[in-house]
Amino acid sequence: MPQSILIDPVTRIEGHAKITVRLDDDGAVQDARFHVTEFRGFEAFCRGRPVHEMPALTARTCGICPVSHVLTGAKAGDAILAVEPPPTARRLRRMMNLGQILQSHALSFFHLSAPDLLLGFDSDPAKRNVFGLIAAEPEIARRGIRMRRFGQEVIAALGGRKIHPAWAVPGGVRGGIDPEMREKLRAEFPTIMDDVRWAWDRYGELVAAHPLEVASFGVFPSLYLGLVSPDGTWEHHEGLLRFIDANGERYGEDFPAERYDEFIGEVADADTYLKSPYHIGAQGDAAVTGEAPGTYRVGPLARINLTERMGTPLADAALKAFRDAFGRIAHGSFHYHGARLIEIMTCAEQIGALLDDPELDTGSLRATAGINRSRGVGVSEAPRGTLFHDYRVDSQGLMTGVKMIIATGHNNLAMNRTIAQIAKAFVKGPDVAEGALNRIEAGIRAYDPCLSCSTHAVGQMPLVLRVESADGELLREVVRG
Amino acid sequence: MAKVTISIDGVEVKAEQGTTVMAAAASVGVKIPGLCQYDGLSTHGACRLCMVQLNGTPKPKPACATPITEGMEVHTTTPRLQEHRKVLLEMLFAEGQHVCAVCVASGACELQTLAADVGVDHVSFNPPATRQTLDLSHPYLGYDPTRCILCTRCVRACGEVEGAFTWGLAGRGREVHLITDLGTPWGESTTCTGCGKCISVCPTGAMFSRGTSVAERRPRRDLVPTLTARRDLEAARKEPS
């Protein structure tokens, strides 16, 4: 039994996580904590740069969801210029975000989570990855990879490249859709819709095969946050922000991006670089958010819970089936997977409609203006949830303050509660079975946190699990990755 | 004018007396790298990237500032010169904050292109810890000192072609930096005409139109050479025959 506390010496830029499980005197799980041990510093080193560079600069935060940062940075820039992008630019931005959500969800579901769901949480860890999936279930792997590629091609058709397209700029976008690639996407579209339908049909079997996980993965009431359209249809880039409570009732008024700090506070903990945002008004409202006051969730599940309808036929039928099975508000984090598939559906359907839209390549693409406001807040729904960029500039448009609230941060409190719940269900004493470790990891993975993006691609994130006694003594440490 | 015969990398070249090695090489399609030389502007010889080796001369010479002489044998890409260029480029990178991925000039930057050609894949020197401030005080032009390599093309274009003499150098050694007028912000300059020639000659992303985003800076490279060619033609016409 190790007696000393080991501090992980690896300080990579992305994707390093640590989990502490604390046991009580009887060896039962008391609590669990998720720690992110990486530090990026974008909020500090972006200061002094011109606002026009910010979309592409902040896009470098992540190689999986750079589009979300490009679009949100451009929206914050729109606010500073005090302009509204021309209608075609708005349409094109929406299209790129749909492509981004589609490709990222396909990566999360088919490449990262499907090995657990299809091969089993207790299956051989050496094969429980995307390569094992390709060997065991080549059809689902092939279709998943094709869906992801389609989303990436939408991004490339607009921004010229699949990753880090510096395409959206304050005031609009830099260029229109590539006509050749548009035709290619139209030709591919029927195959993608077939893939989407096929995947949804398979998902029903997967849920039925994992009743224990469905019941123990983050099943607790919390608030949900996301963008909503005025008529309640699923929204991902425009509209207002809304909190709902565990019963689906609005929690406070809807608000625009620039008022986010009236509702959302952030707390920094000593043991993790990931800050924990919380709903300010719900802090004293334990009836709404339970043992961690102010907890709310964002991302696919939150958006599905917030919306009245998806707005496209296939996704609406899927949403109805989902709600018939799990209720109007689904609380379990396992349902993030289902929500992701419903969103993949609506993204594909909406992209199909935009590809046929004659207005997609007409008119101006960029509004120009000087620095007209000293502060601009951009918000967009990234695949993982609501993303805020809050910029302050001087009279020349140089950044004096940058604040980014990333989806993974919003979910931090919920992720901690989720792993505590899973640990309580699957960990008994200091001897942690590999399957239990994997379930704890999968509880985090259900939220698809950004730190998993780069290092998780072959199936396992570098993970340190510490089991501690009630007085903090290290009882067991399991290191993977 | 008399013709002179030289050899460049083993190829015989005939050019007029007084031609620089760089121009003679260009006439036969041999491009000698350089970041401060610019067609239509006076010679400055600051970047030292165009150094070539001449037979019978132990020290390399700057091709942009060395006139050709009869029988000269020029070597433009020896291993020694390549190593020399690599170190110089690394030092230029270390001196500023040249992050191509987020630079306005990426894809059309002479420093970036040259570094790729020469094979600079890392920088061995630590960058300075100072933080320089951008000057975006001009209504539509901007200057980023962190991307300036002090080639002085802007200084020469502003004085020699536009006749405004807005840009100049101040400081000594490591402290050398560009200034407008006598150190007033660009936007308050009383001499700047806003012509944008400085933007068109800048080899990096140091000068740009305000509002330019990443990889958007695509200046008119032919502007200054066209203007100076016209000016020289006009001067030749006026000369008494």
**Neighboring chain B residues of A50 at a CB cutoff of 8 Å:** 134, 136, 142, 210
A224 - beta bridge partners? A244, A297
CATH 3.10.20.740 fits B3-77, yes or no: yes
Averaged confidence pLDDT in chain B: 93
How close B122 comes to chain A (CA, Å)?
19
Q: pLDDT tens-digit profile of B60-111?
A: 999 999 999 999 999 999 999 999 999 999 999 999 989 999 999 999 999 9
Kindly report the CATH class assigned to A85-219+332-365: mainly alpha
Mean per-residue pLDDT pooled into runs of 10, chain A (481 residues): 27 53 81 72 87 92 86 97 96 97 92 86 81 88 94 95 88 95 97 96 90 86 93 95 92 94 85 81 70 86 96 97 94 93 97 95 92 97 94 96 88 86 82 78 78 37 70 75 52
Buried (b) or exposed (e) across A15-41, using 16+ Cβ within 10 A?
Answer: bbbbbbbbbeeeeebbbbbbbbbbebe
Query: Which sign, positive or negative, has the C-alpha torsion A406, A408, A414, A416?
Result: negative
B-side interface with A, Cβ within 8 Å? 101-102, 104, 131, 133-137, 139, 142, 210-216
* Cβ-nearest to B212 among A52, A55, A60: A52
Alpha-carbon gap, residue A40 to A44, rounded angstroms: 9
Check residue B16 and report its DSSP letter.
E
* Cβ-nearest to A50 among B101, B139, B142: B142
Alpha-carbon separation of residue B95 from B87, B116, B130, B151 (angstroms) = 12, 18, 10, 13
pLDDT of residue B129: 67
Residue of A nearest to B210 (CA): A52
How close A430 comes to chain B (CA, Å)?
47
How close A157 comes to chain B (CA, Å)?
18
How close A456 comes to chain B (CA, Å)?
24
Residues near B184 by beta carbon (within 8 Å), at least 6 away in sequence: none
Task: Provide the number of CB pairs (under 8 Å) joining chain A to chain B.
Answer: 49
Q: pLDDT tens-digit profile of B98-122?
A: 999 999 999 999 999 999 999 999 9
How close A370 comes to chain B (CA, Å)?
8
pLDDT of residue A39: 66
End-to-end CA distance of chain A: 21
Asked if A263 contacts A405 with a C-beta cutoff of 8 angstroms, the reply is no
Q: How far is CA A385 from the centre of its chain?
A: 4
Asked if A294 contacts A286 with a C-beta cutoff of 8 angstroms, the reply is no
pLDDT of residue A4: 25
Query: Within an 8 Å CB–CB cutoff, is residue A428 touching chain B?
Result: no
* Cβ-nearest to A48 among B131, B142, B215: B131
pLDDT of residue B29: 93
pLDDT of residue A6: 26
Average pLDDT of the segment spanning B141-170:
96
**Neighboring chain B residues of A164 at a CB cutoff of 8 Å:** 101
Alpha-carbon gap, residue B27 to B22, rounded angstroms: 9
* Cβ-nearest to B213 among A48, A60, A169: A169
Residues near A182 by beta carbon (within 8 Å), at least 6 away in sequence: A157, A355, A360
pLDDT of residue A10: 22
Check residue B165 and report its DSSP letter.
-
Of the residues B143, B212, B213, the best mutation for testing chain A's interface (the one with the most A CB atoms within 10 Å of its CB) is B213
A contact residues 345-404, partner B, Cβ 8 Å cutoff:
368, 370, 396-398
pLDDT of residue A14: 33
CATH number for the B99-220 domain, one of 3.40.50.970, 3.30.70.20, 3.60.20.10, 3.10.300.10? 3.30.70.20
Asked if B46 contacts B151 with a C-beta cutoff of 8 angstroms, the reply is yes
Check residue A214 and report its DSSP letter.
H
* Residues carrying CATH 3.10.20.740, chain B: 3-77
Contact B213 A398 (CB under 8 A): no
Name the band, by pLDDT with cuts 50, 70 and 90, for residue B126: confident
Of the residues A42, A49, A53, A161, the best mutation for testing chain B's interface (the one with the most B CB atoms within 10 Å of its CB) is A53
pLDDT of residue B43: 95
Tell me which residue has tokens 């899927």.
A318
pLDDT of residue A2: 30
Tokens of residue A340, six digits: 């992701």
